[in-house]
Amino acid sequence: MTGGKPGSNPTRDLVRVAFGPSVVALTLIAAVTLLQLLIANSDMTGASGAIASMWLGVHQVPISIDGRELGVLPLLPVLLMVAGTARTTAQATSADTSWFVVRWIVASALGGPLLIAAVSLAVIHDAASVITELQTPHALSAFAHVGLVHAIGAAIGVGSRMGRRVLAETALPEWLPDSLRAAVTGMLALLGLAGATTVVSLALHWGTMHELYAITDSLWGQLSLTLLAVLYVPNVLVGAAAMAVGSSAHIGPALFSAFTVLGGDIPALPILAAAPTPPLGPVWVALLIIGAASGVAVGQQCARRALPLLPALAKVATAASIAAVAMALLGFAGGGRLGNFGDVGVDQLTFGPAVFCWFAAIGALTVVMIGGVTRGAVRTRPMLPPAREPEPAPAQAEVVDVQEPGQLFEPDELFEPDEVIGAGELSWTPEPDPPRPFEPPPPTQPPGPLEDPEDLMFTDDDGFNRPG
């Protein structure tokens, strides 16, 4: 069995996948808990139970203390846990990893945290016998939350390495990665613009935030409030995003939306000073521009590769569906019951559908307007131009080195063609030979003395007419 990198130790990779993120979280939680107990000058009784409860709380497992349930837990730790699991699984996986090894990696990513969850439940149950205010969470709920968090991280990590391979081996459309990228872009745009609006609102409600900090006089208490506010920043951003798409967020009886605000008691958390106060001015209606801008971002990503009309619309709809499910999941994880304040969170019935409508409608309109739709059939692979056959070289005139008497031109001079008629066909007009100078005939010998005519005559005596 081989891991993601050549020459790596498979056993070490699996151990790191199984226990790496969880052990890091336990170490940080233990350090913060012990520091809090030391500053509060308290004994270490129940420290192990507090550490185990906080580790389960990182996985959004509700914690009950003295009969009061703390279900609204910060989203930042769980997002960091998902990112850590995704990173370790991606490091142990490569594009050519066999499916047998992939199953081992995913099993390790789930098995290690579930084992730590079982130990944590046992530690909490043991500590509850000493600290009566501490109550053991429901075992099935704890295992479900822990398994879901690490399953999401493992899916992201393995998918980042083997996504193209899965597309090649299955019948999934080739534009699916584009839809996933567009969904992530739209979510980041929505949360980022909601964060900018939250910062502006905090500046406008600076006095309220100062009053919330005034509940403690110690420097350590104010630092603790600041750290707690930072951990709850993603929760507030999700609530602001719900308002931006036309849904609503609530803290007990207090209701906040882009159209109306109902007042009520809110927890003394400094970042909650950004919540709008009644009466609602028209400026909050401008939050809807955030939803429209996020839909434009989705459309721009989907239009990077032009497709025919139906596949282009299917790409936008898929991106909107992925973003809607992810935002609804964040809204569900960031909500819950908060003691006497009641239920805290976003309206789940309208949040996900509102995200889908904004992303699908504005995204599809953007794709059509900026040229993301083609009229012809789409080519899945680029077509190379046909290779041109090399043209045969033009025939050259053969030079014959013939030296004739009286030749007035050099034999090395070649006739150059006037033009090329066809492949291998030359045509030229030879130059006429220059006129040759007159040459007198060679002198003849003078006639010799006349011969005797009788020498030229034959007689019978010469033997021609003799009988045999």
Q: What is the average pLDDT across 271-294?
A: 82
Between CA 60 and CA 251 the distance in angstroms is 18
- pLDDT digits over 145-190, tens only? 999 999 999 999 999 988 888 888 888 888 999 999 999 999 999 9
The pLDDT of residue 456 is above 70: no
From the list 349, 372, 356, 351, the residue with the least C-alpha distance to 320 is 356
pLDDT at 6 over 60: no
- Give per-residue pLDDT as tens, 333-389: 988 888 778 888 999 899 999 999 999 999 999 999 988 888 755 444 444 455 455
Give residue 304's identity as a one-letter amino acid code: R
Residue among 418, 248, 453 nearest 350 (CA): 248
pLDDT at 430: 55
Residue 326 has pLDDT above 90, yes or no: yes
pLDDT at 390: 54
Mean per-residue pLDDT over the chain, rounded: 80
- The pLDDT of residue 459: 52
Q: Could you read off the pLDDT of 198-256 as tens digits, one per residue? A: 999 898 888 888 888 888 878 888 888 889 899 999 999 999 999 999 899 998 888 88
Query: Quick one: what percent of the chain has pLDDT higher than 70?
Result: 78
The b/e string for 346-361 (b: 16+ C-beta within 10 A; e otherwise) is bbeebbbebbbbbbbe
For the chain, the structural domain boundaries read: 8-172, 173-375
Whether 323 shows a pLDDT value over 70: the answer reads yes
User: Confidence band (pLDDT; 50, 70, 90) for 1?
Assistant: very low
CA distances from 226 to 215, 221, 271, 305, 413 (A): 13, 9, 9, 45, 96
Q: Considering the chain, what percentage of its residues have pLDDT values greater than 90?
A: 40
What is the reported pLDDT for 455? Answer: 53
pLDDT at 431: 59
Structure tokens that stand for 282 in this block: 């028209």
- For residue 182, report the phi and psi dihedrals to the nearest 5 degrees: -65, -40
> pTM of the prediction?
0.75
Query: By mean pLDDT, which of 32-46, 359-373, 397-411 is the weakest?
Result: 397-411
pLDDT at res. 406? 46
Q: Is the peptide bond before 270 cis (omega within 30 degrees of 0)?
A: no
Residue 447 burial (C-beta neighbours within 10 Å; 0-12, 13-18, 19+): exposed
Return the higher-pLDDT residue of 349 and 438: 349
pLDDT at 302: 92
- pLDDT tens digit string along 62-88? 888 777 778 888 999 999 999 999 999
- The answer on pLDDT for 408 being more than 90 is no
Which amino acid would we find at residue 265?
Answer: D
